[in-house]
Amino acid sequence: MAIMELFYSNSCLRVIILAVLFTYTLSDVDVTLTRHWAGGFQGQACFDVTRDLRGWNATFKFDDEIETLMSWQADVIEVRANGTVYILRNTFSNEHVTSGAEFCILFIGTNNGTLPNLTASLDQLPGGGHHVLPEHNITSVYPTTSDGVTATMVVSEDWTIFKGQFQFPVSEDMMSWLVNITYDMPVVLTSTNVGKILSNPGASAAWSVVNNEHQPILHPGDTFSLSVNGRYQVGPPTPKGRAVLLNLGKDRWIVLTAPQNFTSKYNYDDALMKSIMFYDAQRSGPTGADNRIPYRGDSGLNDMGDNGESLVGGWYNGAGTMKYTATIAYSTTMLIWGYLAQKDAYQSAGQQGYFLDSIKWSLDYLIKCHTQPEELYIQIGNLTDDQHYWGAPELMNQSRPTYKVNATHPGSDVSMETAAAFASGYLAFKDDNGTFSSTLLDHAKKLWDFALAHQGRYSDSQPTLEDYYSSTNLTDMFCWGSVWLYQTTQDTKYLTAAESYVDLQPYDGLTPLRSSRKLANQLLLYQMTNKTQYRTYIENAFVSIFPGGDVPYTPKGLVFYSQQPSSNLYSADISLLALMAADAGIHPAEYKHWSMCQVHYILGDTGFSYVVGFGDKYPLRAQHKASSCPISPAPCGELMKVSSLPNVHILYGALVAGPDLLDHYRDDRTDADNSVGIIYNSGLQGAIAGLQSLILNGQHPEQTGTHSCPYTPGLIATTDGIIGK
């Protein structure tokens, strides 16, 4: 019997090849997908040996050309039929194989990126069987042979030890590269003038060389010279070699624009789809067959608590590999709030299932973090170490310390933040997943009790964390957690608590929502109680925010948060709240109009979209490690960070921090204006869904005739009189 495993794309494609008497059908094969590089694959063929072997050959037959094939347990001695048949021979160390043993041949190959059909056999054994691989409609990120530049080796010295050179004309920028070399006989490459020879013990007809981390970028018009030194044992004639230069700094993966089902200036369906995909790109943990981001793989699989608790999963916060419970919980609640208010937009766009999968990923992780009723893990990773590592999450090897709050080291703010996420999650899943929603509600109640019983800011309990995400007002967070528990349970004790903790001080509009929940709390309380005092507070807050109030605007109309980088984040969050207020009957025409103008500024009203991958012109150099790193096996590092070339992969849906007060913006990977994060997208996604919901219901400003931008306020009647200009 022979078993062959091929590891392909971003999951594991297992192909079982049985002897002639037992040929598996497609339904018998467990098919999952994993990682490959440059149109290549890696795997092993394992044979149950039924007789003693004294020397052996293996034959691999493919249904399409394979550029290179190399093995650790065998030497490629012959390539036939235009690269579709490879003959491998034993090495000196494994010439003898005993009957009854399982014998495996490990190999790496490269091809045009398609999944090959393959037959494997071993001399003196029955045929290895045959299995036709299923079609898989996945767009690879990796270049194929047809994308590469070919060259033939010119030999300068030769007599069993040879020196050869390949000359490649360069027609595009290459921050990283791979050269696949095929010889007409087995050789041993010993050194090259540039790059690193990928491990291939023994003689082989196939070799690969990849760039080193600090080698210069290749530019159009350059001639790239690769010199190789090697040896061979066959004697004359001299080995002939051909090579393909592949660009590992260019991703071929493209996400097609979603169909626009309704007429509006911007394709909200496409923006919504790509916003959800951004959260897929931020995932930590194992990737499965449903992974939609082909350049992302398994990462953070060893994240664990002090007692070995699994803390695998969740979302990375921004550019790197940090996981913050506070930002994950905040983002989850904001996303769900937007979803609950306008499910019709998600359903119309065909994104409801993807959205629920996305937030379940974060909620599952938050459940893991709540290890005991009075214990919550709040951070994974060390920020200093993370800032010194510019590389893919899949390859990180730095230490991952954990931080938690408990009865002796309280963190009421992050505990209430997480309780709110659990409570909102209950509302999102209660109709379709009763068991999961009940679990969420149980965690929400216990965290709410814990936060009140042991009060204190987590940044006081863990001072090293304060620089990144510190809360300013505990009672603000007590109210936030309580209003969500009340919405979930309708238990008046939570409403009583919320109203006792709500901050009634005027909101000046100068504090971002992530730091102050004043306006959000007042809006939720108004929705639940319809009390005039909350409506008045909301109206006065928007007077402060609207043009002519306390908050500055850019010349082209973006409401501007002065403490950069956050202008787009601030605008998106407040836009969502304005739509929520409009839905509650508070000046709907004005608030919808203002919100539309803010979102449209972000989506492209200035001629530039601040959402990566949306529209015709958008950021190419988001400050994001995973999307900037080249395709494996090329190394990443500081050179990628400071390079002026676009990110290798498009970080679809990511909202960058935004412009300065004069609408100036630098598309520079090292600039904070190009930072991204899970909290950036959480308000924007809901605001986009809100505008799409207005389209669906015929209430969009474009449908009512009040859609000119930048927004200019009119006169608004309030309970206190007339406001506005």
Q: What is the pLDDT of residues 654-674, one digit of tens each?
A: 999 999 999 999 999 999 889
SS3 551: coil
Q: Does domain 2-131 have CATH number 2.60.40.290?
A: yes
SS3 378: strand
Task: Look at 420 and 217; give whichever has higher pLDDT.
Answer: 420
602 pLDDT more than 90? yes
* pLDDT tens-digit readout, 676-721: 999 999 999 999 999 999 999 999 999 998 889 999 876 444 444 4
Asked if the domains at 2-131 and 145-247 fall in one CATH topology, the answer is yes
What per-residue confidence (pLDDT) applies to 617?
Answer: 98
- Which residues, 6 or more positions from 93, have their beta carbon under 8 angstroms from its beta carbon? none
Whether the CB-CB separation of 619 and 596 falls below 8 Å is answered with no
What per-residue confidence (pLDDT) applies to 361?
Answer: 98
Residue whose entry in the numeric block shows the structure tokens 């015709």: 616
Whether the CB-CB separation of 287 and 313 falls below 8 Å is answered with no
Where are the domains positioned within the chain? 2-131, 145-247
What value does the mean pLDDT take over residues 354-363? 98
CA distance 302 to 133: 33
Tokens of 280: 């897929």
347 pLDDT more than 50? yes
What per-residue confidence (pLDDT) applies to 612?
Answer: 98
580 pLDDT more than 50? yes
CA distance 566 to 656: 9
Span 145-247: which CATH code?
2.60.40.290
CA distance 4 to 131: 10
CA distance 324 to 380: 7
Task: Look at 339 and 510; give whichever has higher pLDDT.
Answer: 339
Peptide linkage before 134 cis (omega within 30 of 0): no
Task: Look at 647 and 472; give whichever has higher pLDDT.
Answer: 647
Q: What is the number of H-type helices and E-type strands within the chain?
A: 18, 25
What value does the mean pLDDT take over residues 271-277? 98
**Dihedral pair phi/psi, residue 389, rounded to 5°:** -115, 110
Among the ranges given (232-246, 368-382, 597-611), the one the predictor scored with the smallest mean pLDDT:
232-246
Task: Look at 369 and 76; give whichever has higher pLDDT.
Answer: 369
CA distance 58 to 542: 75
Q: Dihedral sign for Cα 370, 376, 379, 380, please.
A: negative
CA distance 405 to 411: 6
Longest Cα separation, the chain: 99
What per-residue confidence (pLDDT) applies to 43?
Answer: 65
What value does the mean pLDDT take over residues 318-340? 97
CA distance 94 to 102: 13
Express as a percent the part of the chain with pLDDT over 70.
Answer: 83
24 pLDDT more than 80? no
Q: Dihedral sign for Cα 699, 585, 556, 568, please.
A: negative
The confidence band for 428, taking pLDDT boundaries of 50, 70 and 90, is very high
The confidence band for 164, taking pLDDT boundaries of 50, 70 and 90, is very high
CA distance 195 to 229: 13
Among 297, 301, 429, which Cα is nearest to 358's?
A: 429
Task: Look at 446 and 253; give whichever has higher pLDDT.
Answer: 446
136 pLDDT more than 60? no
DSSP 259: P
Task: Look at 524 and 719; give whichever has higher pLDDT.
Answer: 524
* pLDDT tens-digit readout, 33-85: 234 445 666 666 767 777 777 678 888 887 778 888 776 567 788 788 888 88
What per-residue confidence (pLDDT) applies to 124?
Answer: 54
Among the ranges given (39-43, 345-349, 593-597, 702-706), the one the predictor scored with the smallest mean pLDDT:
39-43
**Dihedral pair phi/psi, residue 501, rounded to 5°:** -100, -10
**Dihedral angle of Cα 532, 538, 542, 545, to the nearest 10 degrees:** 150
130 pLDDT more than 90? no
What per-residue confidence (pLDDT) applies to 72?
Answer: 59
* pLDDT tens-digit readout, 93-115: 577 777 766 677 766 777 776 66
Task: Look at 216 and 617; give whichever has higher pLDDT.
Answer: 617
29 pLDDT more than 70? no
Task: Look at 130 and 468; give whichever has higher pLDDT.
Answer: 468
CA distance 200 to 208: 9
Highest mean pLDDT pick, 111-125, 358-372, 394-408: 358-372
| Alpha helix ranges (H) inside 506-566 | 518-529, 532-545
What value does the mean pLDDT take over residues 548-553? 92
498 pLDDT more than 90? yes
Identify the helix (H) or strand (E) that includes residue 413.
helix 412-429
This prediction has a pTM of 0.81
What per-residue confidence (pLDDT) applies to 599?
Answer: 99
Which residue type is seen at 380? Answer: I
Among the ranges given (189-198, 582-591, 593-602, 715-724), the one the predictor scored with the smallest mean pLDDT:
715-724
**Strand ranges, E, within 123-264:** 130-131, 149-152, 154-157, 161-169, 177-192, 196-197, 204-210, 223-231, 241-247
328 pLDDT more than 70? yes
Residue whose entry in the numeric block shows the structure tokens 């002090």: 306
302-339 residues labelled b (16+ CB within 10 A) or e (exposed): ebbbeeebebbbbbbbbbbbbbbbbbbbbbbbbbbbbb
What per-residue confidence (pLDDT) applies to 120?
Answer: 75
The overall average pLDDT reported for the chain is 85
